[in-house]
Structure 1
Amino acid sequence: MDSTAPFSSLSAQSPGQWQQAPLLFQHRLHTDPRLSKSAIAGLIGRYPREKYSIVHMGEQGANGKRVWREGEFGGLDGERVLDAIEQGRLWLNLRDGHEFDPFLGEVLGGLFAEAGALAAPMSSYDHRLGVLVSSPGAQVYYHADLPGQGLLQLHGRKRIYIYPPRLPFLSAEGLENIALSQLEVGLGYRPEFDSEAAVFDLEPGQGLFWPLNSPHRIENHDSLNISMTLEYWTQEIRRSHMINMANGILRRWFGHAPRSRQLAGPSFYAKAALQSLWRRGGGLNSLRRAARPIDFRLDPERPGRIVDLGDGPRM
């Protein structure tokens, strides 16, 4: 493989395009042996506990709400974790892969450089790369993300629905709840939303960027899926995030329905100070722990199954 060739078809025009509508692009990373399934298994095996989330897709619960549970590997090595995901109903998110694998760091820098996203007019920063591994037929339910997002498909096929980042698909209160809990799922979804969704069937070698905060949901086809996520921030995105948090605090704890989302001026700076004090006081961590505790481990005897932590020793 030519190590000097571009990773993707991204160009300096790409950010301006994906800020207006979802942008489909091509990449060559699915052919690189450093991102083969066996290489991903090796990465899983050496990943620190505090940097991964493995989630089991439960059945539909009361009031139509989907039940997601978060767990841990239970001492399994990377190959066995990969086998469990292939045979189960699981999603694994390896966060900040660029910090643990030099090649992933190279990929992260290369992709944003190719997109011209390192300087004006984009001037993005705090770039992050994650690796997602998910079961055949698994779903990611309707949700939105706070930073800018992209997705690259490496193995398997999936369908992604991307919705406009406006009412009725997304509300200010919905964004506030995401900012406070740090959990992206939980937005209200209705099947009629699909009529206005942009729908893509992602194949290995394809990737997507989409406009900020666009709600989306994903359906895997009948194979193990491995993808990479890209995340970025700009000054405007960071300020919007601060406003989401501050407005959420005002709505939830003070009973005040905020009207302003200004990103400058006295109102903004007052809200910036409010959310900063709340974060330093530990409010963010307490909400995150309450929203999704760790309550299962992978079953070492039955690949794809899980064991409640209350049913046996924690590993």
Structure 2
Amino acid sequence: MTKLGLPENIAEIWDREIVRVTHDLPDNPLFSDEALTELVANNPDAVREIATMDTSVEDKSRWRASDISPDDPQGLFNAVRSGALWVNIGHVGGRDARYQKLIDDIMDQIDDAVPGPASYSRQIGILISSPRARVYYHADVPGQGLIHIRGEKRIWLYPGHEPYLKPEELERVVTAVTAEEISYDPSYDAAATVIDLTPGTALFWPLNWPHRVVNADSLNVSATVEYHTPKTRRHFAVNYANGVLRHGLGVTPRSRAIGGAGFWGKAAFAYACRKSGLARRLLQSAKGA
């Protein structure tokens, strides 16, 4: 069982503030070079993205796909050590049950400490990134955590409201009109919480909070956690419905409430749009904007 160190007040701060956690995964052989190379060798299609970037500037236009292939795992890892690369291995638990057991164990311990419905749809991903690599300013859709295992990195976390997170930009991410990137201004840094992550540390933060990451001069290995709760699903539903209304129908939403008759109407609308394919058709023009 993974040994976690949870804050004593986790029940009060969960989903309201940044939660700092300690863990013993740096000692887990599942994150050794040999194990990660084997994971990629057995599941090259699990590598969602191999990207490179300009490590000197916060500019999402400098993020681009690399021409390196996951079909040569050893060559990939050698390139990560010497280049400016970010490798995202997704849905790892679905490829190897040992990783799913690990993340379920971690989330079970957190659920036991936090009142309310348990988390579900838990997924673990693995990020392998070069010295000085960076991930530009973005926001994620599901509940999110970052478990740091090897190397050192710095993360900037920003409040999940305007101006740091604009509703129309979040809607574009939720509806997949755009990827996770949202607009960044250096002035936002005055409101950021800046945390240095070292092996054996982890963070969980409130839903959709924007963040960006810069590695220190070391190869980094981290595990990402994605999960849902009834609350996160409600937020997804209302942002999805609002996104279809705003970007597909040209109607400005008036509410982001996750309760009441208005919410349930939007939840039904979002479900119908997704299941019927109507959202895809309505949003097609927005993707080219």
TM range (shorter): 0.7 to 0.9
Match of 1:42 in 2: 38
* Cα distance in 2 for residues equivalent to 1:12 and 1:123: 19
* Cα distance in 2 for residues equivalent to 1:53 and 1:285: 26
Pair 125,27 (structure 1): closer, same or farther in 2 beyond 3 Å: same
* Cα distance in 2 for residues equivalent to 1:70 and 1:109: 31
The two structures, once aligned, show a CA RMSD in angstroms of 2.9
Once the two structures are TM-superposed, the CA of residue 168 in structure 1 deviates from its matched residue by 1.3
Match of 2:10 in 1: 14
Once the two structures are TM-superposed, the CA of residue 195 in structure 1 deviates from its matched residue by 1.5
How many positions carry a matched residue from both structures? 285
Matched residue SS, 2:3: coil
Residue pair 1:250, 1:257 contacting (<8 A) in 2 also: yes
* Cα distance in 1 for residues equivalent to 2:141 and 2:11: 17
Matched residue SS, 2:135: strand
Once the two structures are TM-superposed, the CA of residue 33 in structure 1 deviates from its matched residue by 1.9
Is there any run of 5+ residues in structure 1 with no aligned partner, and where?
293-315
Describe the superposition over 1:2-30 as per-residue Cα deviations: whole angstroms up to 9, x where unpaired: xx5x4211378535423222122111101
Residue pair 2:92, 2:126 contacting (<8 A) in 1 also: yes
Match of 2:173 in 1: 178
Higher mean C-alpha displacement, 84-93 vs 172-181: 84-93
Match of 2:26 in 1: 30
Once the two structures are TM-superposed, the CA of residue 122 in structure 1 deviates from its matched residue by 4.3
**Letter paired with 2:194:** V
**Letter paired with 1:43:** L
- Normalized per residue, the structure richer in helix is 2
Pair 246,86 (structure 1): closer, same or farther in 2 beyond 3 Å: same
* Cα distance in 2 for residues equivalent to 1:25 and 1:118: 12
Matched residue SS, 2:251: coil
Matched residue SS, 1:278: helix
Pair 243,173 (structure 1): closer, same or farther in 2 beyond 3 Å: same
**Letter paired with 2:73:** G
* Cα distance in 1 for residues equivalent to 2:80 and 2:283: 28
Residue 128 (1) aligns with residue 123 (2): yes
Pair 276,50 (structure 1): closer, same or farther in 2 beyond 3 Å: farther
**Letter paired with 1:141:** Y
Pair 52,46 (structure 1): closer, same or farther in 2 beyond 3 Å: farther
TM-score by length of 1: 0.81
Match of 2:149 in 1: 154
TM-score by length of 2: 0.88
* Cα distance in 2 for residues equivalent to 1:76 and 1:286: 37
Identify which of structures 1 and 2 has the higher relative contact order when contacts are C-alpha pairs closer than 8 Å and 6+ apart.
1
Is there any run of 5+ residues in structure 2 with no aligned partner, and where?
none
Equivalent of 2:192, from 190, 197, 217? Answer: 197
